[in-house]
Structure 1
Amino acid sequence: MSTHTSEHHHGTAILKEIAVDYRPEVCLHKPEDDEIHITFDHRGGARWRSHHRFQYGTFGGRIKCPAGNTSGLNFNIYLSSLEGDKSQDEIDFEFLGKDKLSVQTNVYTVGCGNREQIHPLGFDYSDDFHEYLIKWSPQTIEWLVDGKLIRKEERKPDEAWPEKPMFLYSSVWDASYIDEGRWTGNYVGCDAPYVCSYRNVRVPVENIILTEEEK
């Protein structure tokens, strides 16, 4: 069972409202319990996000990925200035369905990524809830699992850096078509429905960037 200290959650609050970008019928939000659940089955998956963008801070939550043969699927929690925008800034945790013992991290700046790293977790990510946090500042990015730092990027002089205000996103989707199945494996689906569960998702209490309509 994972343990946490208040330092990890300094300056954050539970995310109480979400937007669902597609297929809301398979995304269950239980704000009274601080839980979100995405089901992937014959209907496909879903993607939820925070209502607001943020610029810097601590983001994440406790996640239990689906059990069974999840080959082909991608589960994730990540920051992005806008999903689908080819010039996005983005910071990722991605769980690849073919390998339940590792997690992938990545960072994009103005649409340029290719900074993937694979991190052995030391546990099966579907066995229990574990905490995954991203700490993003103007000078550093840190990825933490159950309070343990697994990766840190430090800004270098004249280096492009993710600076755009970003939403917190999460989705479950079939990524079999990417790299002919070599990334996440090929989807089998023998254990559907698959449920990815989130608890105590946190976002910064400050650094909220309002749209012109919200101001």
Structure 2
Amino acid sequence: MIKRTIQPALAAILAATFSVPAFAQEGATGASFVENFDRLDTSVWYVSDGWNNGAHQNCTWSKDQVQVKDGVLSLTFEKRKLGERDFTCGEIQTRKRFGYGTYEVRMKTADGSGLNSAFFTYIGPADKKPHDEIDFEVLGKNPAKVQLNQYVSGKGGNEALADVPGGANRGFNDYAFVWEKERLRYYVNGRLVHEVTDATKLPVNAQKIFVSLWGTDTLSNWMGAFSYTAPTSMQIDRIAFTAPGDKCQFSESVACTLN
């Protein structure tokens, strides 16, 4: 994932004081939850709107590209000039920060080379913290794979690829990572696909949870040549976080199978 910039208004929101119990990392404010998107609760989710993350991004975040219908969140990429960009795209993020635990999403990714459908956690300088991040990213150039990655104090380069049988854009798939102090495990459809135990590659700072769909004209070596033919959407059926020691919250959860 690319270094992010956050609007001042968002930074002010995130500076608000929360009443929270103690969690694994200092600054973690979120407890276990399951979001089934019966509606979009803006007291829980912040909708990115009116800016872009830098020269690499060819779209402007827009609240109009974020919709909930029939229990599914849709983030849409569309040709529509807004601000400095000729395209608009969608993103939401939690207002609270989360520490060690199990992070899960059930999603169907967007079509199109040059697009990135992402489920990830992030914290950074706008929150007066180092850039730490944990990623699931499906690049539209090859939806048969999902890219895994971590950033630790702004240093990435930990990419790995995992298969998504049938294609991430052809139907809903389950992605999960289990973040612990001494290891990080990634799962696709309940199957362990990657494990990290090198302490230098493990983030340590509590982070916010994001889902986003965006595009690029410039990062073709990574994301493929940008090719737009029609609006396309990333769909999210469920997002969940289960804190260590809490009971698993739904039958398909990876947290139900952990030792």
Q: Distance in 2 between matches of 1:83 and 1:27?
A: 26
User: Secondary structure at the residue paired with 1:47?
Assistant: strand
Structure 2 counterpart of 1:162, from 175, 184, 203:
203
Structure 1 counterpart of 2:118, from 62, 72, 76:
76
Check whether the contact 2:110–2:169 (CA below 8 A) recurs between aligned residues. Answer: yes
Specify the alignment match of 1:21 in structure 2: 48
User: Secondary structure at the residue paired with 1:99?
Assistant: coil
Check whether the contact 1:98–1:184 (CA below 8 A) recurs between aligned residues. Answer: yes
User: Secondary structure at the residue paired with 2:211?
Assistant: strand
Normalised by the size of structure 2, how large is the TM-score?
0.67
Structure 2 counterpart of 1:188, from 201, 204, 227:
227
2:80 equivalent to 1:37: no
Check whether the contact 1:130–1:145 (CA below 8 A) recurs between aligned residues. Answer: yes
* Higher RCO structure (Cα 8 Å, ≥6 apart): 1
Query: Identity of counterpart residues, as a percentage?
Result: 25
Amino acid at match of 1:113: G
Specify the alignment match of 2:8 in structure 1: none
Check whether the contact 1:73–1:176 (CA below 8 A) recurs between aligned residues. Answer: no
Specify the alignment match of 1:47 in structure 2: 91
Normalised by the size of structure 1, how large is the TM-score?
0.80
Check whether the contact 2:122–2:134 (CA below 8 A) recurs between aligned residues. Answer: yes
User: Secondary structure at the residue paired with 2:79?
Assistant: coil
How far the C-alpha of 1:100 sits from its partner, in A, is: 1.4
Could you list the runs of 5+ residues in structure 2 that have no partner in the other structure?
1-30, 36-40, 50-61, 81-87, 246-259
- Comparing both structures, which one devotes a greater share of its residues to strand? 1
Deviations along 1:80-127, one digit per CA (max 9) or x if unpaired, are: 113878931101001111101111000110000011112222321111
Q: Distance in 2 between matches of 1:56 and 1:135?
A: 8
Amino acid at match of 2:210: Y
Q: Distance in 2 between matches of 1:83 and 1:99?
A: 32
Specify the alignment match of 2:190 in structure 1: 147
Q: How many residues align?
A: 188
